[in-house]
């Protein structure tokens, strides 16, 4: 399969970050982790940084205009000949349309989506465990519940959008990491 752009989609705690890193290393792609990029931006001493930090700590997804402002600036710095794995974007329809159009203008046309399907109860349990282990400010029980509710309300419609515009692959994200990795590798052959 000729890969250029891979979108990793799934609820928080589905393992998409872990799987995206593994696949990026295997393929030599740039791993675009929107969560890390937002945390980096939130650490900057600027108006944008303070705004992003406040929203991230409250578990609120950034509005499209703010998120795409951060994303456009960062995506523009990645050479076109390097494949990119996008982890954490798009999360809403407007983001999906914008990102696909932006990437097409860069000359990128081969899009694949890997959707890690994990039940809500399992992702909540995983996120609580991660909060305990990593002490992340954005992983309070209240913030986790809020983000998962937002995911199911806002991101689920993006799946249909990506199904119609990308090579769409659905993977069961509930087994152990190595099993999920093997499932992804099988589907990309």
> What is the per-residue pLDDT across 42-66, written as a single tens digit (0 to 9) for each?
898 988 889 989 988 887 778 889 9
Share of residues in the chain with pLDDT > 90 (%): 50
**H or E element at residue 64:** helix 64-75
What is the pLDDT averaged over residues 104-131? Answer: 92
d(CA 160, CA 149): 18
Identify the band that residue 41 occupies on the pLDDT scale cut at 50, 70 and 90: confident
Smallest CA-to-CA distance from 4 within 112, 77, 91 is with: 112
Identify the band that residue 6 occupies on the pLDDT scale cut at 50, 70 and 90: very high
Of the listed ranges 27-41, 53-67, 86-100, the one predicted with least confidence: 53-67
**H or E element at residue 140:** none
Structural domains in the chain plus CATH codes: 5-33+82-188 (3.40.50.300)
Q: What is the pLDDT of residues 160-173, one digit of tens each?
A: 999 999 999 999 99
pTM score, whole prediction: 0.86
Say which residue, 122 or 140, is predicted with more confidence.
122
């Amino acid at each position: 399969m000729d890969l250029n752009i891979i979108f990793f989609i799934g609820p928080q705690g589905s393992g998409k970050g872990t799987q995206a890193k593994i696949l990026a290393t295997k393929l030599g792609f740039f791993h675009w982790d929107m969560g890390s990029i937002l945390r980096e931006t939130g650490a900057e001493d600027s108006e944008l940084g303070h705004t992003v930090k406040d929203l991230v700590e409250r578990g609120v997804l950034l509005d499209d205009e703010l998120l795409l402002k951060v994303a456009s600036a960062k995506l523009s710095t990645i050479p076109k000949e390097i494949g990119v794995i996008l982890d954490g974007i798009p999360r809403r329809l407007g983001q999906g349309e914008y990102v696909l159009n932006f990437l097409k203008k860069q000359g990128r046309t081969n899009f694949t989506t890997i959707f890690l399907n994990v039940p809500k109860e399992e992702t909540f349990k995983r996120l609580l465990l991660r909060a305990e282990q990593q002490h992340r400010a954005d992983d309070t029980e209240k913030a986790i519940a809020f983000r998962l509710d937002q995911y199911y309300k806002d991101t689920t419609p993006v799946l249909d959008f990506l199904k119609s515009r990308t090579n769409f692959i659905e993977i069961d994200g509930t087994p152990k990491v190595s099993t999920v990795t093997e499932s992804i590798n099988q589907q990309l052959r």
